[in-house]
Structure 1
Amino acid sequence: MQPDTSSSTSARWEAPDTGNDLHEMRGPVALPPGFEAFCHALYQSTRLRLEPGHRVELVKNGVIFEQICETIRQATESVHILVFIWRPSEPSDRIVEALCERARAGVACRVIVDPVGSEEVNGEHDFNPRVEKRLREGGVEVHYFRPLSGRWLGRLFGRTHHKLVIVDGKVGFTGGFGIWKSWQGDGQCPEEWRDTNVRVEGPTVREMQLAFARSWQECGGALLPESCFPRIPRGGDAHATFVESAGVSGISDAERMLRMVFAAARERLWISNAYFTPPNAILEQLLEKRKQGVDVRVLAAGPVHDWRIVRASQRATYEKLLEGGIRIWEYQPSMLHSKTVLADDWLSVVGSTNMDALSLHRMREGSLVVADRRLASHLEEAWSQDMTCAEEITLQRRGRTNPWRRFARRVTQLLAADR
C-alpha cells in the first residue's frame, strides 16, 4: 500500500531559522540497504560494531525479577547493579536477599543507585536507609550516583537512567525496569506497568560491564579487577552491541543510534516508547521513512501516565505524524514504560532510552541493539499482544493539537535548547 502523502508536505515542526541548517545533522539519513551497511553506519556514528555470538532473550514485565534473582544466585565472581529507581518493595526484598546470600558466599556484590530516581514517593521511605542498611549489613558495597547535596542545580538533570544487572561479567540484563512494585505483574492494571527488557549472553556484556565500571569509579568505587571482564565465547546466533550515551552539547550517541536504526528500515519501523516527544529532526526522519513506503507505527503511553506535561507534549506530535500517514496507538490498561524499536524483520532495540530531550541530551542511558530474526519475531509478538490493549489515535479521535499541548511540547524541548 502506498503512503498517503497528500498532507505530508506541511508536516514539519516549528524551529528557529538560524541559517545553520546546512551545517547541522537535521535531514533524513541516507543509508544503503542491508546488514553490512547498517553495521558500518552504526560504527561510524557510535564507534561500536554489531558483534556475532550472542544469545538474547526478551523478558517482559514482572518476569524480570524472577530471572534476575535466579541469575544472581548462580554468581561465582561478581554481581553488579546500576539502576535509576530502587525503592522498598517485594521485588526489592527478593533481590536484596539474593545479593546478601551471594555476598556471604564470597561473591563481590556492588550496587549503584541514582538518589533522584530512588527518592521518597507517596509517603513511602526511600532507598536510604531501609534498603541500603540491609545491603551493607549483608556485605554488599553500595554507592550513590552524583548526590545532589549542595550541588543540586548543576546535577539535577545529569542523572544515570541506566537499568543494568551484570553477573560474573557474562550475563547482562537491561531494559526499562526499576526495582519497585510498579514493575510487578503483567502490565494489565494501573498499578503494574508494562515494560520490556532483555537478558543477554555474549561479547557485548563487556560493554555493559564497562558502563557499570565507569559509573562505579565516578561514585568513589575502586577499579574493578580484570576478572570482571572475562573473555566471553561466542555462543549464539545474534549480532549485538550495547550503546551507552551521556549528556552532551550536540547529538548524543543515543540519538545517533536511533537515527541509524530508523534509516535502516525498509519495510516497517515500529516504535514503543514511554515518553515519545523526540526532537524535530527525528520526527522529520519518521515522516520521510513513511514517504518512502515504510510502515511506521508508534505505541505510546496512554491515560495511565506519571507525567501529565510529557503526555501532553507527546500528543503535540500526533497531528503532523498522522497527516503524514504514520499510525499511532496509546496503551490503555497501565503505564507503558517500554523503550523498544523494531525495524523490518531483523533489527531490534531494547533499553532504557526514552525519546525525549532528557534521555537524549542530559541523562546516562544504555540500549542493546540486536540483529536477530528470532528476537525481532518475539518483539513483533509482544507488539501484537499490546495492540489488543491499545487504542488507535486518529485526527478525528484525539489527534489534534491544542494550545496546552503546544505549550507542553515547548517546555519539554527546553532541555535540548543547546542543540
Structure 2
Amino acid sequence: MRTGRRLLISLTVAALYISGILFAIEAALKVRTEQGAIAWAVSLVTMPLVAVPAYLVLGRSKFEGVSDAFESRRDEFERLLGHIEKNLKPWEIPPSEGPSWHAAMVRLSNMPLTRGNHADLLINGNATFDSILRGVASAEEYILFQFYMIHDDGLGQRVKAALIDRARAGVRVYVLYDEIGSSGLPSRYVNDMRSAGIEVSSFKPTQGSRNQFQLNFRNHRKMVVVDGETAWVGGHNVGDEYLGLDPEFSPWRDTHVRLQGPVVIQLQMAILGDWYWATRQLPEVNWTPRPSEEHDKKAMIFPFAPTGQFETASLFFVAALNGAKERIWLSAPYFVPDAAVMKALQLAALRGVDVRIITTGKPDSLPVYMAAFHYMEELAGLDIRFYAYQPGFLHEKVMLIDDNVSTVGTPNFDNRSFRLNFEVTSVILDREFAREMEDMFERDFEHSKSLFPESFATRSLWWRGAVKLARLAAPVL
C-alpha cells in the first residue's frame, strides 16, 4: 500500500514538472507582455506545484473559444455584418473628418464613427435608473438588458418588476449577467423572470471544453438597448449601492450616458455578440439606424475584449492620450495603468497638456488602491494633478480630451480592464456634450483632495512597503 502511494505521489509530481515545462513554453509563446512571459516561464519550471494551478487560472490573457463559437454560423454572420455596414454607411464619417486617431480606432473596434446621434449625460444612480426604467416602460418590441452585476435588492426588484411588466405586455426581453459578477443572484430571481417569458442567461467564462480554467476573465459591460432606438452604457450596475444606499460607500459617484441615433446599432452589436456566446442564439432585432432628428453628435461604440490579436483597450487609451493637445481629464476608481499608457501620460504632460486624474478616496479594494500610489509617484514632477474624491466611493469611468472628445463607459484604468475583461465605452465628439462633461469634472474636483506624489517618499516605511507589494500584484488586479 505504501509503495503504491509513493508511486502515485512520484507520478503526480513528475506530471506537474512536465506540465510546468510545457506550460512554460506556452507562456513564452502566448503571454502578451515580455515581463509576464519571463515571470511565468521561470516560476512554472522552478515551482510547478504552485505555479501550474496558478497559471491555469491566472496565466492566460487571451479568452479562447469565441472565434470557434461564431465559425459554425460564419456565412450567416458575414451576411448580417454586411447588412449592418450597408445600413450605417449613410451615417459614417470618413477618417478625414475625424480626429487624428480616427482611422486606427475604426480598424481596432470594427465600428465606424457616425453622425446623427444624441447623448444625455446621466450623473449618479437616480438619474441613470430613472432614465433606464422610463425607457424599459416605453419598449414596444424588445429589450436587451446586460449588466456585470445584478443584486436581488430594492433596485434589483424594481428592475425585475419593470422587465416582467413589459414581457407580459408582449415585449421580447433578454437579460444577460456575468456569472462571477452576479454570483450572489438567487435562482428564484432568475426563475421569476423566466416564468414571465423573459430569456435569461449568464456569461460563463468557463463555457466550452477549452475554457474550463478561464476563471480570471469577466464580462464587465453594462448595456441596455430598447427597440434599437435608445441605449444606455456606463459605470452603474444593478444594486442599491449604486443609488447611494450603502452607508459604507455612500454617496456613490457614477456616470452613465443615454444614446440615440446610429450609434445605438453599434451597442446592440456588442450586446448580441455576448448573448450569442452565452446562448448560441441570435434574436431578431432592428438593424435600421434611426438618426436623431434634432441633434447631430458624432459618436461611436468601442468594445474591448481579450479575444483578438491586439490589446484593444490599452491601444484605445494610448491613441486617445497621444491625440490630446490641450487637456486630458480622466476619472476612474482605480489607477493601475500599463507601461504604454504610462508613457502616453508622460508624453502628454511633457508637451504641456493639462492632465488631471481623479480616483476614489474611499477604496473598496485595498490592494488596487495602494498600487495606484506607485504609479502616481512614477509620474511625479510632470505637473500632472491627482485628486482623491472625498464624499463617497467614486466608480465612474469617464474621460475628456481637449474640448470635444468625451468617453463614458465601463473600463477601469487598470490591467484587468486593459487585458482581461470584456468592456465597452462610448466615444462622443461634440463640444456641447464636452462642456457638460467639463462642468461635471469641475464639480468633482471641488469635492476632491489634491494628492502630491512628491511627498510620498516621506511617508512611513510600512506604507511605502505596502505600495510596492501591491504594485507587484498589479498584473492581476
Per-residue displacement from partner, 1:107-155 (whole Å, max 9, x unpaired)? Answer: 0000001121112xxxxxx213242122112221100111659988622
Matched, 1:47 2:118: no
Structure 1 window deviating more from structure 2 (317-326 vs 171-180): it is: 317-326
Per-residue displacement from partner, 1:363-408 (whole Å, max 9, x unpaired)? Answer: 1000001101111111111111111211000135557782221221
CA RMSD of aligned residues (A): 2.6
Give, in whole Å, the separation in 1 of the partners of 2:276 and 2:350: 46
Corresponding position of 1:363: 421
Give, in whole Å, the separation in 1 of the partners of 2:247 and 2:351: 35
From 305, 319, 323, the counterpart of 2:381: 323
Corresponding position of 1:66: 130
In the TM superposition, residue 251 of structure 1 has moved relative to its aligned partner by 3.6
Give, in whole Å, the separation in 1 of the partners of 2:319 and 2:476: 24
Contact 2:261-2:289 at 8 Å conserved across structures? no
Relative to 1, partners in 2 of residues 1:221 and 1:84: Cα closer, same or farther, differing over 3 Å?
A: same
Matched, 1:170 2:229: yes
From 242, 258, 263, the counterpart of 1:204: 263
The residue identity in structure 2 corresponding to 1:286 is L
From 314, 330, 336, the counterpart of 1:271: 330
Contact 1:46-1:256 at 8 Å conserved across structures? no
Give, in whole Å, the separation in 2 of the partners of 1:35 and 1:292: 22
Relative to 1, partners in 2 of residues 1:168 and 1:17: Cα closer, same or farther, differing over 3 Å?
A: closer
Matched, 1:106 2:149: no
The residue identity in structure 1 corresponding to 2:474 is T
Secondary structure of the corresponding residue to residue 260 of structure 1: helix
Per-residue displacement from partner, 1:256-294 (whole Å, max 9, x unpaired)? Answer: 221221122101100101121010110111011011010
In the TM superposition, residue 215 of structure 1 has moved relative to its aligned partner by 1.2
Structure 1: stretches of 5+ with no match in the other structure: 1-14, 19-31, 120-125
TM-score of the pair, normalised by structure 1: 0.84
Matched, 1:95 2:159: yes
- Within-5 A mapping of 1:204-223: 204-223=263-282
Secondary structure of the corresponding residue to residue 65 of structure 1: helix
Matched length? 380
Contact 2:148-2:178 at 8 Å conserved across structures? yes
Corresponding position of 2:189: 131
Give, in whole Å, the separation in 2 of the partners of 1:147 and 1:396: 41
Relative to 1, partners in 2 of residues 1:166 and 1:343: Cα closer, same or farther, differing over 3 Å?
A: same
Relative to 1, partners in 2 of residues 1:149 and 1:312: Cα closer, same or farther, differing over 3 Å?
A: same
Give, in whole Å, the separation in 1 of the partners of 2:404 and 2:301: 17
TM-score of the pair, normalised by structure 2: 0.75
Give, in whole Å, the separation in 1 of the partners of 2:311 and 2:291: 31
Contact 1:305-1:311 at 8 Å conserved across structures? yes
Give, in whole Å, the separation in 2 of the partners of 1:153 and 1:398: 43
Corresponding position of 2:466: 404
Contact 1:187-1:333 at 8 Å conserved across structures? no
Give, in whole Å, the separation in 1 of the partners of 2:251 and 2:182: 18
In the TM superposition, residue 39 of structure 1 has moved relative to its aligned partner by 2.1
Give, in whole Å, the separation in 1 of the partners of 2:453 and 2:215: 37
**Runs in 1 of length 4+ with deviation above 4 angstroms?**
15-18, 147-153, 186-189, 396-401
Corresponding position of 1:194: 253
Give, in whole Å, the separation in 2 of the partners of 1:41 and 1:145: 29
Give, in whole Å, the separation in 2 of the partners of 1:322 and 1:384: 22
Matched, 1:383 2:427: no
Corresponding position of 1:21: none
Identity of aligned residues (%): 28
The residue identity in structure 1 corresponding to 2:400 is L
Secondary structure of the corresponding residue to residue 57 of structure 1: strand
Matched, 1:56 2:114: no
Contact 2:377-2:454 at 8 Å conserved across structures? no
Give, in whole Å, the separation in 1 of the partners of 2:206 and 2:36: 37
Contact 2:142-2:226 at 8 Å conserved across structures? yes
Corresponding position of 1:255: 314
The residue identity in structure 2 corresponding to 1:98 is A
Relative to 1, partners in 2 of residues 1:249 and 1:105: Cα closer, same or farther, differing over 3 Å?
A: closer
Contact 1:187-1:195 at 8 Å conserved across structures? no
Contact 1:60-1:196 at 8 Å conserved across structures? yes
Per-residue displacement from partner, 1:325-361 (whole Å, max 9, x unpaired)? Answer: 2110011121111111100110011100111111111
Contact 1:33-1:266 at 8 Å conserved across structures? no
Secondary structure of the corresponding residue to residue 313 of structure 1: helix
Give, in whole Å, the separation in 2 of the partners of 1:136 and 1:295: 51
Secondary structure of the corresponding residue to residue 37 of structure 1: coil
Contact 2:205-2:215 at 8 Å conserved across structures? no
Secondary structure of the corresponding residue to residue 194 of structure 2: helix
Highest relative contact order (Cα 8 Å, sep 6+), 1 or 2? 1
- Within-5 A mapping of 1:144-155: 144-146=202-204, 154-155=213-214
Contact 2:203-2:219 at 8 Å conserved across structures? yes
Secondary structure of the corresponding residue to residue 335 of structure 2: coil
The residue identity in structure 2 corresponding to 1:356 is D
Contact 1:188-1:194 at 8 Å conserved across structures? no
In the TM superposition, residue 232 of structure 1 has moved relative to its aligned partner by 1.9
